[in-house]
A and B are shown apart, each in its own frame.
Chain A
């Protein structure tokens, strides 16, 4: 149980942080104009 909770905690931290980063990155890409429109 001890190790299960430790693994769960570390997994939770990385999943949440990296998941949020990927989600925000995708939103930024979606909000940005396409490359050809910037020229």
Chain B
């Protein structure tokens, strides 16, 4: 398993280097925005990975709710996957928000505007930050169920984020993929998009794997602690009555 993880890590690093090179040196300079448009090659793939992670989190959360009584061992695995994808999704959403603001300042003249795309994406980030805070600060017991329910509501925000530029007139540009006539990228820019999509998908999978291993380890530690607490608890203590 460790060998596979190392190969995956090496492959991901190679993809990241290639993606960086193509984005910086191969993709042409955009006519109106200049070099600042190269932020797009990290901004867009990060958003796509974040959406995918939210969908995996959604599926895992449903599995937790479905299996929590009938198959608790499977529910534990699904819960570990849910928390792993949520944590990594928050990192990717932070990347999207940060790169978006750094791009907006020189192009729009502002760091932020409350348009529908930006606001709905900020909501997505807030929902998953609250998911992680819920898991961090809620006492054990119902935390898996509560967070699974919250995650289902969080996932409902993704279609709103995705459709926001179609449903409303936004400051944010029209969609790159499936945006209709006049939208989209120049064909010479697509290699930079594909390389970085591959690289950040691979990196996301690696991070989920790492976070999943941590969560499974924690579950095992908690089970061990619970077992030791019951196994060594005194059962025939005299009350002196």
Contact = CB atoms under 8 A, between A and B. Distances in A.
Given A12-B95, A13-B95, A17-B95, A24 B214 contact: yes
Interface string A16-34: 1100110011011001100
A9 B101 CA distance: 9
Nearest to B38: A6
Contacts of B35: 2-3, 6
Given A5-B102, A16-B91, A24-B210, A32 B42 contact: no
Contacts of A5: 36, 39, 102-103, 105-106
B36 A16 contact: no
A1 to B, nearest CB: 5
B117 interface: no
Contacts of B95: 12-13, 16-17
B218 A31 contact: yes
A12 B101 CA distance: 12
Given A9-B102, A12-B102, A28-B217, A17 B39 contact: no
Contacts of B213: 28
Contacts of B207: 17, 20-21, 24
Nearest to A4: B106
A21 B214 CA distance: 12
Contacts of B39: 5-6, 9-10
Nearest to B105: A5
A2 B34 CA distance: 8
B214 A9 contact: no
A8 B102 contact: yes
A12 B105 CA distance: 15
B217 A2 contact: no
Contact of B103 (A9, A17, A25): A9
B215 to A, nearest CB: 9
A20 B46 CA distance: 15
Interface string B202-221: 01001100110110011001
7 residue pairs, one from A and one from B, having the closest CB atoms: A9-B102, A28-B214, A9-B39, A31-B217, A9-B99, A2-B36, A5-B102
Interface of B: 20, 34-36, 38-39, 42-43, 46, 88, 91, 94-95, 98-99, 102-103, 105-106, 203, 206-207, 210-211, 213-214, 217-218, 221
Given A9-B42, A20-B207, A28-B214, 19 more contacts: A2-B106, A3-B35, A5-B36, A5-B102, A5-B106, A6-B35, A6-B36, A6-B38, A8-B102, A9-B102, A9-B103, A12-B95, A13-B98, A17-B95, A17-B207, A21-B207, A24-B207, A28-B210, A31-B217
